[in-house]
Amino acid sequence: MKTNTSTLAQDIIEGIRAAIGPAPAVLHEPSFNGNEWLYLKECLDSTYVSSVGKYVDRFEIDLANFTGAKFAISVINGTAALHIALKLAGVQANDEVLIPALTFVATANAVTYCDAIPHFIDSEESTLGIDGKKLRDYLNSISEQRSGQCFNKNTGRVIRALVPMHTFGHPSDLEGLMSIAQDFNIVMVEDAAESLGSYYKGKHTGTFGLLGALSFNGNKTITTGGGGAILTNDENLARRAKHLTTTAKLPHPWEFRHDEVGYNYRMPNINAALGCAQLEQLPKKLAAKRELFSRYKQSFSKISKVALFEEPTNSKSNYWLQTILLDENQSDQRDLILEETNAANYMTRPSWVLLNELTPFKDCPNMDLPTAQSLATRLINIPSSPELVLSGSQ
C-alpha cells in the first residue's frame, strides 16, 4: 500500500472499517447488557443509595475475588484511590514520587494532593510504561541512601514512592520495577486505573505494589459511572483505607466523632450496584476486546508505516484501548490522520501531552525523556468498545 500523507490516513480508515464495519464508532463506550437495571432497582427500592448498602460490600468482595487481592476498598474515582494509596504508602509533603511523563494527569494530581512533587520518568516502547533499565541507571546517578531512605542528591528531597502506570491496559515491567523499588528503598504503588483484567506473569495488575488503584470511569472496561478502588494485601492498610475514605468517623450508633482529617471518598451504594452487574459481564467484555484486537491485527497487517500495539511479553492485556503506533518518520502525519479518521466517523485520539510540559508541572524534576517524547507524537487510539464485537454476535 502507498503511504504518503493522504493514503496513509485512508489506509488506516480502511483498516478500521475492515475490522469493525462501516457504522460510526466512538473510542470506548459503556454497555449495560446484564443485571444493571435489576440491581439499580433493588438499590432504589431499598432507599440505600449512598455509602451504606449491601452492594458496596458485595462489590468489594467480588472485586477482590476477581483480582486476587486480599482486600478491595471502593471509592468515588480512580484519582481518589491513588491519592489515598499514596498517603497510606507514607508519601509526605515535599517528598518526590517517580511517575511516567506519559500518563493521564490524574497520576500527577494525586501526588500533588499529598503536597508531594512528581518526578517524571521515561517510558519504554515495548510496554508503553516506565523504562526500568533507564530508571535504575538514573537513580544510580542522582540518588543516595541515607538512614534507609532514598534521597535525590540534586534537590535534597526524599524519593518516597514509585508509581508505574499500565498504559492503555498493558502491564509495565513489574518485575524489574519491583526490583528497583526494593534496591533503592522506595515504596511501589501501582496506578492500575486502566488495567482491570490485565495480568503480568499470571498475576493481576494492581496487586504487585504495596497498594494499587483502579478506575471505573464511564470509559473504562467496566464502569460504576464514577468510581475507583484501592487494592492491597495488607489488612491494616485496608482497614485504614476504609477509615480515611469514610471521613475518619469512629463507629457509634448515633454520635459523629472523627479521630483525624478524613475524606468523603466512599463509593455510593447505587454506583456499587452498577459495578456488581458490570463485574458479572467482565469476562465476556475481555474476550470481546481480545477478539477485536485479533480483527485489527489482521486488517492492519498489510499496512506499512504503522503497527498495532500488542501486549508485552509475559503479559496478558485487557486491551482497554486499541492502539496504533506510527513509524517515527510518519509522526508528522499524526494530526492529519486524527482529522481524517474522525471525519470518517471513527473516533480516534492521540496520547496525552507529556506531564512535564503542562503548566502545573513544568518545574518538576524529570530525567531525559526521548522515548516518551517520541511515543507522544506517534500513538493513536482507535475504536475499542467490546460492543463492536458483542453487538455483531448477538
Matching CATH number, 36-279, of 3.10.520.10, 3.40.640.10, 1.20.120.1770, 3.40.50.920 = 3.40.640.10
Choose among 61, 52, 87: nearest CA to 263: 87
The C-alpha cell 466517523 sits at 345
Residue 154 has pLDDT above 70, yes or no: yes
Give the side-chain half-sphere CA count within 13 A for 54: 8
pLDDT of 122 above 80: yes
If phi > 0 it is left, if psi is from -120 to 50 it is alpha, else beta; for residue 218 that is alpha
Instruction: Give the pLDDT score at 266.
Output: 95
CATH topology of domain 5-32+282-393: Aspartate Aminotransferase, domain 1 (3.90.1150)
The secondary structure of 363-384, three-state, reads CCCECCCHHHHHHHHHEEEECC
- Residues 248-262, mean pLDDT to the nearest whole number: 95
pLDDT value, residue 51: 80
pLDDT of residue 4: 47
pLDDT of residue 112: 98
Question: What's the chain's average pLDDT?
Answer: 96
Residue type, 88: L
- pLDDT of the residue at 391: 84
pLDDT score recorded for residue 211: 98
Strand partners of residue 53: none
Full-model pTM: 0.96
Quick one: pLDDT at residue 392?
A: 66
Angle CA 59–212–30, to nearest 5: 50
Res. 5: pLDDT tops 90: no
pLDDT for 2 beyond 60: no
CA distances, 152 to each of 36, 89, 122, 302 (Å): 49, 19, 17, 48
Residue 145 has a pLDDT of 98
pLDDT at 202: 98
Tens digits of per-residue pLDDT, 129-146? 999 999 999 999 999 999
Output the pLDDT for position 394: 38
Q: 47-89 pLDDT, tens per residue?
A: 999 988 899 999 999 999 999 999 999 999 999 999 999 999 9
d(CA 390, CA 34): 13
Distances (CA, A) of 305 to 12, 57, 334, 378: 10, 49, 12, 11
Q: Which uninterrupted H or E stretch holds 76? A: none
Residue 1 pLDDT exceeds 90 = no
Q: Average pLDDT for residues 379-385, to the nearest whole number?
A: 98
Residues of the chain with pLDDT > 90: what percent? Answer: 96
Spatial contact of 134 and 172, defined as CB atoms under 8 Å apart: no
Q: Which residues of 358-368 are buried (b: 16+ CB within 10 A; e: fewer)?
A: eeebeebbbbe
Q: Are 312 and 201 in contact (CB under 8 A)?
A: no
Note whether 99 and 112 are within 8 A (CB). no
Q: How far apart are CA 116 and CA 181, in angstroms?
A: 18
Handedness of CA 306, 311, 312, 313 (dihedral sign): negative
* Cβ-based neighbour number of residue 259 at 10 Å: 9
Q: Which helix (H) or strand (E) holds 227?
A: none
pLDDT at 6 (0 to 100): 66
The pLDDT score that the predictor gives to residue 36 is 98
For residue 234, the model assigns a pLDDT of: 98
d(CA 347, CA 338): 8
Could you state, in order of their start, the residue ranges of all structural domains in the chain? 5-32+282-393, 36-279
339-352 pLDDT per residue, tens:
999 999 999 999 99
Q: What is the mean pLDDT of residues 168-192?
A: 98
Q: What is the mean pLDDT of the segment spanning 201-225?
A: 97
The answer on pLDDT for 7 being more than 60 is yes
Q: Are domains 5-32+282-393 and 36-279 of this chain identical in fold?
A: no
Give the number of other CB atoms < 10 A from CB of residue 35.
Answer: 17
> For cell 476498598, what's the residue?
73
325-335 pLDDT, tens digit per residue, is 999 999 999 99
Is it the case that residue 365 has pLDDT exceeding 90?
yes
Residue 272 is predicted with a pLDDT of: 98
| 268-286 pLDDT tens trace | 999 999 999 999 999 999 9
pLDDT (mean) for 2-19: 83
* CA–CA distances in Å: residue 301 to residues 120, 248, 257: 34, 54, 62
Residues 305-325 have pLDDT tens digits of 999 999 999 999 999 999 999
DSSP for 117-155? EEEEE-B-TTTSSB-HHHHHHHHHHHEEEETTEEEETTT
Q: 275 φ, ψ to 5°?
A: -65, -40
Binned at pLDDT 50, 70 and 90, residue 291 comes out as very high
